Homo-oligomer: A and B are copies of this chain.
């Protein structure tokens, strides 16, 4: 190994900027003191543009899955009909959470690696008028697809009274998301993806309509009751002791986002995606997704003539480079390169270079440097 520290090119957790790591090494503070009030005063307004909303973005301590569960348990009652659009493992998780709560879960399954067609959802909702909520995944981390959320929001609202609830875990902060303008009712994300933070925080924002539903929802819930978080945060306070270390990091990460500017960040993620895709195209190694719906945050590669697990093992042992494998039905069929958050064009050039060596090491006859060159050409365009 050339480094004792993993080079993280998985789609989350993602690398942490040094200034964020430094911020997190601050001494502890009290959660009912002035210091926490000041921290919330700093971060609350800066979270809103990242979500594209004027609503309060509530901060919960938990994995992204806790955020997804909060989105379910606060909005839908057992026995109600919901539609879950499943384009991969995380759409499937939304469905499994709904199932765990005895919600009547109707799945709209799309072939893994493809995006959902909003017209199909429009047709479904016209036929099925009892749907109370539609759940969708913005970037499906397991396949690297970016679902057309803006268009989906429109067809959901044009064809039903359902709430439109979106998993933005691997998109928010890396991909343009206009929650208010697009009419998303509930939007969830996690800290460990494009927000450049360690895992452990999950964030949710809701439309007025969704808040009204949540306020009148009698479901059993305590820790995940979003109203408590909103009511506390609006007084710059917290209902329970939050992961303050991660909130120190959040304050710094949001400063970095503001400094770089959101539009620049979105453009950078497009560039990272295009460089990554160009590199594999140059080697005629198939990508799982079409260009049109390729996520700016993660790229899945589906090789036909080598074993992705063999490549992953080789680049891990040669370079300590972590890329992700496939999940569930895509297990051992794909590998995934994360390029979100604290990731630069130089990181992609480095990653492609290492992957090329890995490909040679496992016996694939590739032209060394051809992928790097293709990525460089994209950069220079």
Interface residues in chain A, defined as those with a beta carbon under 8 Å from any beta carbon in chain B: 5-6, 8, 10, 12-16, 21-22, 24-35, 61-66, 69, 78, 96-97, 100-102, 190, 192, 198-200, 220-225, 240-246, 316, 322, 324
Contacts and interface: CB of A to CB of B under 8 A. Distances in A.
Closest 10 CB pairs of A and B: A200-B243, A63-B240, A198-B245, A199-B241, A65-B240, A100-B222, A66-B223, A101-B220, A21-B25, A13-B28
Given A24-B24, A61-B63, A223-B69, A199 B242 contact: yes
A63 to B, nearest CB: 4
Work out how many copies of this chain go into the complex: 2
A14 B33 CA distance: 13
Nearest to A102: B220
Contacts of A246: 200, 243, 245
A63 B27 CA distance: 19
Contacts of A30: 6, 8, 10, 13, 322, 324
A78 B63 CA distance: 26
Nearest to A72: B222
A222 B10 contact: no
Given A13-B30, A28-B15, A69 B198 contact: no
B15 A27 contact: yes
A379 B32 CA distance: 31
Given A6-B29, A66-B223, A223-B224, 13 more contacts: A6-B33, A8-B30, A21-B27, A31-B199, A33-B322, A61-B66, A63-B240, A100-B225, A101-B220, A192-B241, A198-B245, A200-B244, A200-B246
B13 A64 contact: no
B63 A242 contact: yes
A173 to B, nearest CB: 16
Contacts of A21: 25, 27
B66 A96 contact: no
